[in-house]
Amino acid sequence: MTPTQQLHELGQSLWLDNITRTMLRDGTLARYIDELSVTGLTSNPTIFDKAITGGDAYDDQISELTEQGLEPEDIFFAVAIRDLQGATDLFAPIHERTDRVDGFASLEVSPLLADDAPATIEQVRKLHDQGDRDNLFIKIPATAPGIPAITETLALGISVNVTLIFSLERYRAVMNAYLSGLEQAHAAGKDLSKIESVASFFVSRVDTEIDKRSDELRNRLGIAVGKRTYRAYRELLDSDRWQGLEDQGARPQRLLFASTGTKDPNASDVLYIEAFAAPNTINTMPDKTLLAFADHGNVGDPIPADGGDADEVLEAFQSAGVDTDELAARLQREGAEAFNKSWNDLLESIESESRRLAATG
Please tell me which residue in 50, 126, 139, 288 is annotated as part of the active site. 139
End-to-end CA distance of the chain: 51
**CA atoms of 270 and 132, how far apart (whole Å):** 35
CA distances for 212 relative to 33, 49, 189, 218, 228, angstroms: 37, 28, 51, 9, 23
> If you compute the radius of gyration of the chain from its CA atoms, what whole number of angstroms results?
20
DSSP state of 256: E
Q: Beta partners for 137?
A: 106
**CA atoms of 245 and 243, how far apart (whole Å):** 5
Q: Beta partners for 197?
A: 160
Q: How many residues does this entry show for the chain? A: 361
Buried b (16+ CB within 10 A) or exposed e, 15-34: bbbbbbbebbeeeebeebbe
Q: Which residues contact 7 (CB under 8 A, 6 or more apart)?
A: 14, 37, 273, 277, 283, 293, 297, 299
Concatenated DSSP letters of 297-345: ----PPPPTT-TTHHHHHHHHHHTT--HHHHHHHHHHHHHHHHHHHHHH
Q: Give the Cβ contact number of residue 104 at 10 Å.
A: 28
Contact yes or no for 172/233 (Cβ under 8 A): no
Percent of the chain that is helix, strand, coil (3-state, to 5): 60, 10, 30
Q: Give the Cβ contact number of residue 14 at 10 Å.
A: 25
Is 212 annotated as catalytic? no
Residues annotated catalytic, as ranges: 139
